[in-house]
Amino acid sequence: MADWDDLRVFLAVARGESLSRAGRVLKLDPATVGRRVARLEGALGVRLFTKSPQGYALSDEGARLLAHAQQIEATMEAARDAVAGPGAGITGQIRIGAPDGCANYLLPQVVTAICADNPGLEVQIVALPRVFSLTRREADMVVAVSLPESGRVITQKITDYRLHLAASEPYLAQAPALDGLEDLRAHRLIGYIPDMIFDRELDYLGALGVDTPPVASNSVSVQLNLIRQGAGLGVVHDFALPFAPGVRRVLRAQFSLTRAFHLIRHADDRRVPRLERFAGALVAGLRREVARMERAVNAAD
């Protein structure tokens, strides 16, 4: 019979795909992790992982165990919250995955406020230009611009946000005239590296018929800094503009995009009160912060 401690080790190896990564999460040395996996395999009488140069991959039996182990994990989390009682603050570690625009310009303010109200909470923000896997628990919840097409997840729309073309004042002072979209041909455009756009909603320049911008980055934060340095024009989140003094929106009447943030969570997590409370605070905070930043930008124009 497997015990919960061994299942925790199994989940950490399944998510990290290596003994060393699992050990760092669990604060155990890799040899101990390996022994615990072997003990669980012995108790169940099956092989849970296959080892390769790339790491530890789930076997067919391990993949079947994964969903059950995740359900047990959610039940243990819910039990811990029930014992703590409804008046307790949010505690423990929560990891959020987010695109780097949200992670850089919105989450720091929102998370700071949530942590101030919950001193026992530990929050990790993972800003990566790719899709996160909730199945492998790369994050407890994900802020995304597109809804997933499959998987056992629960989704919630957070808020719409707006984007416009923008450029620095020094660039505009010396650049060719910019009275309409047709004038963009005389300007250098900044955008995503085409083959690194991980979500179709991020193909901002596609709406302008631009396939390959002459200056590009896989990070919107780098793109905004390129715009600040006068490297050209680019599409910028309105909520990011307060962080870029000297950059202003252009051709607002001719070009505007609206996108949405969604919160995506594993389906089992609706039974975990602390994750429910954190998700509620996160959604409310992001809605307020987007609205506040966009009001500031509109007032400044």
Residue 130 has pLDDT above 60, yes or no: no
DSSP 66-126: HHHHHHHHHHHHHHHHHHH-TTSPP-EEEEEEE-HHHHHHTHHHHHHHHHHH-TTEEEEEE
| Local confidence band at 293 (pLDDT 50, 70, 90 cut-offs) | very high
Residue 137 has pLDDT above 70, yes or no: no
Task: State the average pLDDT for the chain.
Answer: 88
Cα–Cα distances in angstroms (integers) from residue 120 to residues 8, 117, 126, 142, in the given order: 22, 9, 20, 21
Q: What is the pTM of this model?
A: 0.77
pLDDT digits (tens, 9 = 90+) for 195-247: 888 888 888 888 888 888 999 999 999 999 999 999 999 999 999 999 999 99
Tell me the CATH number of domain 4-84, given options 1.10.10.10, 1.20.1730.10, 3.30.2090.10, 1.10.1740.10. 1.10.10.10
Whole-number pLDDT of residue 129: 57
Q: What is the mean pLDDT of residues 103-117?
A: 96
Least confident among 44-58, 117-131, 157-171:
117-131
CATH T-level assignment (fold) for domain 92-158+260-300: D-Maltodextrin-Binding Protein; domain 2 (3.40.190)
Q: What is the mean pLDDT of residues 68-93?
A: 72
CATH T-level assignment (fold) for domain 160-259: D-Maltodextrin-Binding Protein; domain 2 (3.40.190)
Residue 176 has pLDDT above 70, yes or no: yes
Whole-number pLDDT of residue 236: 97
Separation CA 146–CA 131 (nearest Å): 10
Tell which wins on pLDDT, 134 or 105: 105
Domain map of the chain by residue range?
4-84, 92-158+260-300, 160-259
Element counts in the chain: helices (H) and strands (E): 9, 11
